[in-house]
Amino acid sequence: MAGRIAADAGSAPQPRSGESTASPASVLATEIKQLVATGERDQARERFGALVALLQRRALRVAFQYLRNPADADEAVQDAFIKVFLHIEQYREDLPFDVWFTRILVNASLDRMKARARHQRLVAPVADDQDDRSVYQAPAAEPSSERRLLARERWAQVSREVAALPDRQRLVFTLSHVDEQTPGEIAAATGMSPATVRVHLFRALRRLRGVLRDQA
């Protein structure tokens, strides 16, 4: 598993050169921070609901691809949002909120993975077919049952290969190809250098190339 990203909510990511930080999420986060600072917590919570609505689908996609379990993804996303609200005073308005949130989300997902590993050590292991249950979901609607079956088998194969990637490669691959983040954004969110991000991404794609070609 990739190590927990240092300085969770306390330190903000490095700003990206030449990019505007005024995304809708950043604007909302700045507003919430000011409301909390002036003691208007009820209003801050109300505005925070809008921020959750803006980011939660994207957050759930990333968390689910990383954790491969809907309940764990739900918990991780909830924990991430709670942590954001509790540490909103540490958010720096001059930096993109999305990157700061991604960092918190990845750490929440890592915490959930650790909790799951602890739980699995304590309880009896489940059968292998149950472990792979989430992998065998149909990815999208297909016109015929034969094509749907074929797509499902290929999707299962790709999912298995992605799940078998080393943790850092899997994290970088998920952020890059599920959340569509740039290497610079991934570097800011994970604390890696952009060069390291590119190396992990290259290695992940090299391992997945064969199975992805078959899928295409």
CB of residue 46 to other proteins, shortest distance in Å:
9
* Dihedral sign for Cα atoms in the order 27, 28, 30, 35: positive
Query: Within 13 Å and on the Cβ side, how many CA atoms surround 76?
Result: 33
Nearest alpha-carbon partner for 200 in 210, 178, 175:
175
Q: Which helix (H) or strand (E) holds 210?
A: helix 194-215
Nearest alpha-carbon partner for 189 in 210, 199, 175, 200:
175
Please list every residue from 163 through 192 that binds other proteins, using CB under 8 A: 177-178, 180
> Judged by CB under 8 A, does residue 143 bind other proteins?
no
* DSSP H helical ranges for 1-144: 24-37, 41-67, 70-86, 97-122, 128-131
Residues near other proteins (CB under 8 A), total: 38
Q: In one letter, which amino acid is 194?
A: P
CB of residue 128 to other proteins, shortest distance in Å:
20
Scanning the structure block, which residue is given the tokens 């490669």? 169
Closer to other proteins by Cβ: residue 6 or 149: 149
CB of residue 94 to other proteins, shortest distance in Å:
26
> Judged by CB under 8 A, does residue 3 bind other proteins?
no
Please list every residue from 57 through 96 that binds other proteins, using CB under 8 A: 57, 60-61, 64-65, 70, 73-74, 77-78, 81-82, 85-86
> Judged by CB under 8 A, does residue 155 bind other proteins?
yes
Region near other proteins per CB under 8 A, out of 25-33, 123-131, 134-142, 189-197? 134-142
Give Rg (Cα) of the chain. Answer: 19
CB of residue 17 to other proteins, shortest distance in Å:
27
Among 20, 39, 140, 143, binds other proteins (CB under 8 A): 140
Interface characters, 31-60, with other proteins (x: CB under 8 A): ----------x---x--xx--xx--xx--x
Task: Please state the length of the chain.
Answer: 216
Q: In one letter, which amino acid is 68?
A: R
Distance in angstroms (rounded) separating the CA atoms of residues 178 and 124 = 32
Residues that bind other proteins (CB under 8 A): 41, 45, 48-49, 52-53, 56-57, 60-61, 64-65, 70, 73-74, 77-78, 81-82, 85-86, 134, 137-140, 151, 155, 158, 177-178, 180, 205, 209, 212-213, 215-216
